[in-house]
Structure 1
Amino acid sequence: MKEVFEKCDYEHTFFIKTNKDGKVLIVSLYVDDLIFTGNDELMFAEFKHSMKHEFDMTDLGKMRYFLGLEVLQKSDGIFISQKKYALEVLNIFGMDKSNSVFNPIVPGCKLVKDEGGVKVDKTYYKQVIGSLIYLTATRPDLIFVVSIISRHMENPTELHLQAAKRVLRYLRGTIDFGIFYRKGGDDELVAYTDSDYAGDLEDRKSTSGYVFLLSSGAISWSSKKQPVVSLSTTKAEFIAATSCACQAVWLKRVLGKLDQNQSRSCVIQCDSSSAVKLSKNPIMHGRSKHIDVRFHFLRDLTKDGSVELVYCDTQEQLADIMTKPLKLNTFVKLRGQLGVCSKTCSIQFKGGNVSFLCLSYWFSG
């Protein structure tokens, strides 16, 4: 019987084909571009032959560049970056010869509406922000500051533009940075969640942040202002943890389809003991009665074992980099723990076996 591809219900760009021997072929499609990977050379050859027979396709071989992402596949792991795109951004905005800085935002900085400030061109400011947003695809160290400066696109002033230009100056000094996924790294999904209580000085809403690690590198991250005003740090942390838990459910399902089943609960590290207790104890009514019902979804996930919220020390909280401006030494430490490094640093890592042979890239001619 002819084997067919199965469409992933949780990520519609994924198509998976498996055979009786446990071999797998995974295809990701974007418009007329596709990449594929797997653990069997014969399945690769059969797939290429069938595609050439049905469509006018060009085989570009081992993937090196895809939608602005540069992929360096080596014997000890895979390094992804956006160096070429970052250089183009710096050239477009005239920052290619600017002095570099060591962090993208001044520690302790709080950006607010600058009603009396000098207005700047909205279109230019939005172009800068849009370019930086695309760079966060491989740069989790930028996600917090980009989230902050993007809140002021409607009425930007010199204050906001200077903050955006500082990000570009930081980018110039870290132009070859990306994420390194080490061969033989931990295949268990681990998450960190954090919040910055009432961090927005205008509406007093908190910022949620989370990051997921797999194979020694970050695979999913977020920094986002919460939809409601939190009445306590516990509530702010609980809301952030709920958002993280929802992402954990989706990631576990996608990884399961990719033959990377997560047998245990996804461990979510949280530096709020109150939020951890609240996720496990439904009778803490006095401390939780003001929290919206939708956020108690976390309790259901904890109860059925999908996720496990555990306490971690604030000094080891990786998601801090997603929620607040940090001191330089703390920022550099957490950035490294996310797997963010330069191309030259990535060659120092050593490891064991890789799950998949390689990534290959095709496009329709």
Structure 2
Amino acid sequence: MILFTGSDNLMFEEFKKSMMVEFEMTDLGLMHYFLSIEVVQSTNGIFVSQKKYLREVLDRFQMKDCNPVSTPTEFGLKLDKDHEGKKVDSTLYKQIVGSLMYLTATRPDIMHSLFHGHPRSNLLSHCRLQKLNLFAATACACQAICLRKILEEPHFKQVGATTIFCDNNSTIKLSKNTVLHGISKHIDVKYYFLRDLNNDGVINLKYRRSEEQLADLFTKPLKLLPFQYLRKLMGICTLENLA
């Protein structure tokens, strides 16, 4: 759900007028449907859904009468590649996954169940796990910087550091103190970019418990209550909840 202020609405009106002067166009009013995404706009904000698209997907793959489930993936489920299994045509499976990928535009909570294409080891070394954590934090910081620069154009310049939550204390300490030679000696130089951003006050890496880490919704199968809790934190709800 996205909320706009009165000044934002004024800016939009001025933008529309300038566009209509420059180009031949018609104001069709508030958007209600676009690229299979339904839009409901009210004083509470903007609600987007893909109910019609989802029904078409269920009908296309003959799943209208299937029983519903509370979570997209069973908790504790581990998938392994069956080397001795009979080969089947994967076309149908790819079509289903492709259809569901577009659904993640409004239902990102199903994203984890779509990425089981390649098997991987359950065990990671400490130095390898640390590198993955740093890579994720650095990638997130780069996205934050990009968004900050984009928002500067419409005069929404951010004052102060962008807070990035991380559930790994070692990563946070390493971003602030690179003297931890035992951990950092095998880490590529590019990850020190994270330290510079932290020292310059561009980002602020803060610890957050794994139970409150929104990213867990995309990376692991969860029990029902944690799944529902994180989904609510993301702002995913039904239209009835906004009434």
Structure 1 match to 2:57: 89
Structure 1 match to 2:238: 342
- Give the TM-score taking structure 2 as reference length: 0.87
**Pairing 1:138-149 to 2, within 5 Å after superposition:** 138-146=106-114, 148-149=115-116
The percentage of aligned residue pairs carrying the same residue is: 46
**CA offset digits 1:84-105 (Å, max 9, x no partner):** 2211111111112211000000
CA distance in 2, matches of 1:46, 1:201: 54
Instruction: Choose which of 95, 98, 103 in structure 2 pairs with 1:130.
Output: 98
Instruction: Choose which of 120, 132, 141 in structure 2 pairs with 1:201.
Output: 120
Contact 1:144 1:321 in 2 (8 A): yes
Describe the shift of the 1:75–1:43 C-alpha distance in structure 2 as closer, same or farther (beyond 3 A).
same
Whichever structure has more helix as a proportion of its residues is 2
Match status 1:48 vs 2:20? yes
Deviates more, 1:327-336 or 1:253-262: 253-262
Describe the shift of the 1:271–1:117 C-alpha distance in structure 2 as closer, same or farther (beyond 3 A).
same
Q: Which runs of 4+ in 1 moved over 4 A?
A: none
**CA offset digits 1:306-354 (Å, max 9, x no partner):** 211111222222221121111111101100110011111123xxxxxxx
**Pairing 1:1-365 to 2, within 5 Å after superposition:** 39-52=11-24, 57=25, 59-146=27-114, 148-149=115-116, 151-152=117-118, 201-202=120-121, 231-347=127-243
CA distance in 1, matches of 2:12, 2:128: 53
Between 1 and 2, higher relative CO (CA 8 Å, sep ≥ 6) is seen in: 1
Describe the shift of the 1:304–1:82 C-alpha distance in structure 2 as closer, same or farther (beyond 3 A).
same
- Give the TM-score taking structure 1 as reference length: 0.60
CA distance in 2, matches of 1:115, 1:230: 29
How far apart are residue 112 of structure 1 and its match?
A: 2.4
**CA offset digits 1:111-161 (Å, max 9, x no partner):** 222222343322111111111111112222012222x23x25xxxxxxxxx
CA distance in 1, matches of 2:14, 2:150: 24
**CA offset digits 1:197-234 (Å, max 9, x no partner):** xxx634867xxxxxxxxxxxxxxxxxxxxxxx873543
Contact 1:112 1:202 in 2 (8 A): no
SS at structure 2 position matched to 1:95 = coil
Structure 1 match to 2:3: none
CA distance in 1, matches of 2:68, 2:201: 46
For 2:120, the aligned partner's letter is L
CA distance in 1, matches of 2:214, 2:18: 43
CA distance in 1, matches of 2:188, 2:134: 11
SS at structure 2 position matched to 1:231 = helix
What 5-or-longer segments of structure 2 have no aligned partner?
1-6
Q: What RMSD over aligned residues (CA atoms) do the two structures have, in Å?
A: 2.3
CA distance in 1, matches of 2:181, 2:108: 36
Contact 1:144 1:323 in 2 (8 A): yes
**CA offset digits 1:159-207 (Å, max 9, x no partner):** xxxxxxxxxxxxxxxxxxxxxxxxxxxxxxxxxxxxxxxxx634867xx
Describe the shift of the 1:38–1:142 C-alpha distance in structure 2 as closer, same or farther (beyond 3 A).
farther
Describe the shift of the 1:49–1:333 C-alpha distance in structure 2 as closer, same or farther (beyond 3 A).
same
* Pairs aligned (count): 237
